[in-house]
Amino acid sequence: MSDKLPFVLGCSVPLSSAAEEKLKSSFKGFHYHPNKPDSPAKFTKEELSEIEFFFTTGRGLPVSSLDELPKLKHIQLASAGSDAAQRSEAIAAYKEKAGQEQAISLSTASGTHVLSIPNYAVAMVIALYHQLPRMITRAKDEKRWLEEEECDRDGQAYYARSLHGRTAGLLGYGALGRETARLLKAHGMKIIAANTSGKASSQDGYVIPGTGDKDGSIPEQYYSTKDSKSLEKFLKQSDVLICSLPGTPDTKYFLNKERLALLPPNAVLVNVGRGSLIPSDDLLAALDAPKGLFGAALDVTDPEPLPANHPLWSHPKVVITPHTSGNTEGEMDIAAEIALYNAKKLAKGEAVINRVKFDRGY
């Protein structure tokens, strides 16, 4: 009796040779055509007719219709987000046709990036509190040792702000929010969180040992994003606001001018979720307000990519990176482990982890 998983796997995700061999040896069939920068993955009609489990990139499947995959049971994304995949031609058409009846399941690789994105978020908070971007850029441009007052944005005596004793608000408390909370708590910060329910919940997705907040016990208080009064209380306390919400119709421009104005004076904002959360004009207003934001770090923007000469590029309080906070060594191999884990769950007739529910958008 074969101990291989009873599925033919299609894979368009570029993998290390070790991860490729592991998947190949774990499934009864394996068709591997990785995406390349200059050419998308291409599978033969015969291969597509056999594939039952598809491991693909966050952009979606390399087909125009799921009718090309008659035996397909599950789509495993290599990305933590699913919004781009849901907009892709094949999956968007299936969503409209299937409605609530998802015979073909779709799941993300949420949990893959806990070794990179939370570290980025903490690094950016520290960099902004120390005014490092300004200091480093000016010293390199002018090629000289700066006077202390020149290190401060306002020309005052320079000092670094401490994380210790301040309050960090986690807007979104999934895998990324939980690991960021764990790291910030180690810096002596008070942790609060806002999620849909306003209640603690267990971490039921993929968890790398030693990371995250399994039982949701790190935040001292939870608030609900569905309750305006609760959200107001959350924002008013958040000296540091870490945003990791998914991109859905409900989160589009959720953090608008009025809500940004609720943050304490000189708050720091880091967005590692989706750029559509914050209208750029509203963010600029919050940065320029007399008691507005001390700084913002954006790995995602509105729009994305951010156009050349957009005022955010030159704003002295802003650091922008091109949606690269999750790019880390071995990330696709970790995603492959999640794919393998879900294939085993599927083979046992169990529910997969990180399943996307079309009705909620993620």
- Catalytic (active site) residue 274: yes
- Catalytic (active site) residue 144: no
Tell me which of 187, 274, 310, 355 is the catalytic residue.
274
Tell me which of 138, 323, 355, 360 is the catalytic residue.
323
CB atoms < 10 A from the CB of 188, how many? 11
Cα–Cα distance measured from residue 91 to residue 10, given in angstroms and rounded to the nearest whole number: 16
Catalytic (active-site) positions: 274, 323
